[in-house]
Structure 1
Amino acid sequence: MHPVLKPAQAMVLAAGLGKRMRPITDKMPKPLVPVAGKPMLDHVLDRLGDAGFDRVVVNNHYLGEMISDHVANRDFPVVVNSPEVELLETGGGVQNALPLLDDSAILVANADMYWTEGKDPLFERMIEAFDAEHMDALLAIAPVDGAFGYDGAGDFFWQVDGRLKRRGSAVAAPYFFTGVQILNPRLFEGLLPGNFSLNVVYDRALENGRCYGLVHDGRWFHIGTPEALQDAENALAE
């Protein structure tokens, strides 16, 4: 196998359009927007490297050449690009990259996020907690209360045994999904290639009782708009 195509065990999703971050993202893809002194994508890649990943797949679409050029000179972790001619969303993006990824379990993280660590680094906690015998999906969740810049109603209830339950018809749920997860690639079996959300594979894992959650114990910054970016920078400076 060509060394550039050696399977990786981690993927970073960096293909989104970043519409809510305009005008900043008119000429820059959102993953390259700097927070706390460096692009959000680099924060994620550096933490993957710290967790022991030496090869990471990064997809791209909007202003994709800028992302490819940015990661081209990284020594660690080495980045394998997975370009998308058409935007495939989160699920289609991972499915498209599966030939480049490990066939047992993969850590997938959004590129456009920022967090501070708790007692132990999040990625290391995820790796330690993933139990392939009982889990097909392990999602990192964070409390709605105290999350910086998050104004949604929450996504999940975290049950006593660690399994997740969707908010469903409830007015609110106490936890939201952070965009970090470990997935068993078999969740994609039988799915037609194309544009679809990772929610499709979460539903598969939820239906089988094999979707679990891990609560992040540091701070989480939801940076969706230029105003939220400035607020986050101010908060971090304090």
Structure 2
Amino acid sequence: MSAPNAKAQAMVLAAGLGKRMRPITDTMPKPLISVAGKPMLDHVLDKLANAGVRQAVVNSHYLGQQIIDHVATRTAPAIVTSPEEDLLETGGGVKNALSKLDDDAVLIANADVFWTEGAEPLFDRLFNAFDPDHMDALLALYPVADGYGYDGAGDFFWQVDGRLKRRVDAPSAPYFFTGVQVLAPHLFEDTPDGAWSLNVVYDKALAAGRCYGLVHDGGYFHIGTPEALKESEPVIAQALEVERAKKEASGGV
């Protein structure tokens, strides 16, 4: 699929191996696993379309042709594919696609995450909150205590001014990273070639005091295993019903 003339405003990371989702991912990439009636990748892409994003880059590696075939007919957003012969991880994957992405700020989301919206859609909140004069990174966070299926110790402390501080040696932190973010592309200057994690650019932004957080106010579901998928389905269905009711009450479509 050839790139449109304008650069993409968003990127969806869909190249991972999905090992914890085996045996489902023996024959299907994790982003194409159905949750609440459609693939997780489509939930993310539909949210981008609702936020007004006209085109997005989707990378692929593991069973990548399935990803490429799946997005081939989408028009909202229009998809620019970024196949990876070798798995480049999150940082390398974004760097590999930089020539196809907006030069000022890029909205990036993992393809295998699922959330329901709060008072305002998460992507809209991130776009509106990102301030390039003060920020190089704006990460969407979620409270550890409220994340369905999340059993980690948290990633960040969210400071009074909105800037983030890593958990480091603390036994726990109150917020975890959701996999959704806005990044300034210049963060990728002087970064490694090949495979590497986005943690490299987060650390760069943290060191400069330019890494901020935004706490998502809707629902968030961590779906890491086939068992978690099965257990979460009825809870997700209920959460989506609540989301629809709120949207109708506010006059939304």
Q: For this pair of structures, how many residues does the alignment match? A: 237
1:104 paired to 2:107: no
1:150 paired to 2:150: yes
Structure 2 counterparts to residues 1-150 of structure 1, below 5 A: 4=4, 6-150=6-150
Amino acid corresponding to residue 203 of structure 2 in structure 1: D
Task: Supply the distance in 1 between the matched residues of 2:5 and 2:24 (Cα, whole angstroms).
Answer: 33
Task: Supply the distance in 2 between the matched residues of 1:214 and 1:53 (Cα, whole angstroms).
Answer: 20
Task: Supply the distance in 1 between the matched residues of 2:162 and 2:207 (Cα, whole angstroms).
Answer: 15
Task: Supply the distance in 1 between the matched residues of 2:187 and 2:80 (Cα, whole angstroms).
Answer: 22
Deviations 1:33-68 (A, max 9, x none): 000110000000000011011010000000000000
Amino acid corresponding to residue 211 of structure 1 in structure 2: C
Deviations 1:123-143 (A, max 9, x none): 000001000000000000000
1:196 paired to 2:196: yes
Identity %: 68
Q: Is 1:5–1:80's contact at 8 Å kept on the other side of the alignment?
A: no
- How far 1:236 sits from its partner (Å)? 2.2
Aligned to 1:225: 225
Unaligned regions of 5+ residues in structure 2, if any?
239-253
Query: Aligned with 1:214: secondary structure?
Result: strand
- How far 1:6 sits from its partner (Å)? 3.2
- How far 1:30 sits from its partner (Å)? 0.2
Task: Supply the distance in 1 between the matched residues of 2:88 and 2:125 (Cα, whole angstroms).
Answer: 29
Amino acid corresponding to residue 223 of structure 2 in structure 1: I
Q: Is 1:157–1:174's contact at 8 Å kept on the other side of the alignment?
A: yes
Query: Aligned with 2:154: secondary structure?
Result: coil
Aligned to 2:186: 186
Task: Supply the distance in 2 between the matched residues of 1:195 and 1:125 (Cα, whole angstroms).
Answer: 30
Q: Is 1:5–1:100's contact at 8 Å kept on the other side of the alignment?
A: no
Task: Supply the distance in 1 between the matched residues of 2:232 and 2:76 (Cα, whole angstroms).
Answer: 27
Q: Is 1:14–1:110's contact at 8 Å kept on the other side of the alignment?
A: yes
Task: Supply the distance in 2 between the matched residues of 1:164 and 1:23 (Cα, whole angstroms).
Answer: 37
Task: Supply the distance in 2 between the matched residues of 1:188 and 1:100 (Cα, whole angstroms).
Answer: 14
Query: Aligned with 1:4: secondary structure?
Result: coil
Task: Supply the distance in 2 between the matched residues of 1:148 and 1:227 (Cα, whole angstroms).
Answer: 13
Deviations 1:184-230 (A, max 9, x none): 00101011311000000000000000000000001100000001101
Q: CA RMSD in A?
A: 0.9
Amino acid corresponding to residue 167 of structure 2 in structure 1: R
Structure 2 counterparts to residues 160-179 of structure 1, below 5 A: 160-179=160-179
Aligned to 1:216: 216
Task: Supply the distance in 1 between the matched residues of 2:184 and 2:3 (Cα, whole angstroms).
Answer: 23
Amino acid corresponding to residue 184 of structure 1 in structure 2: A
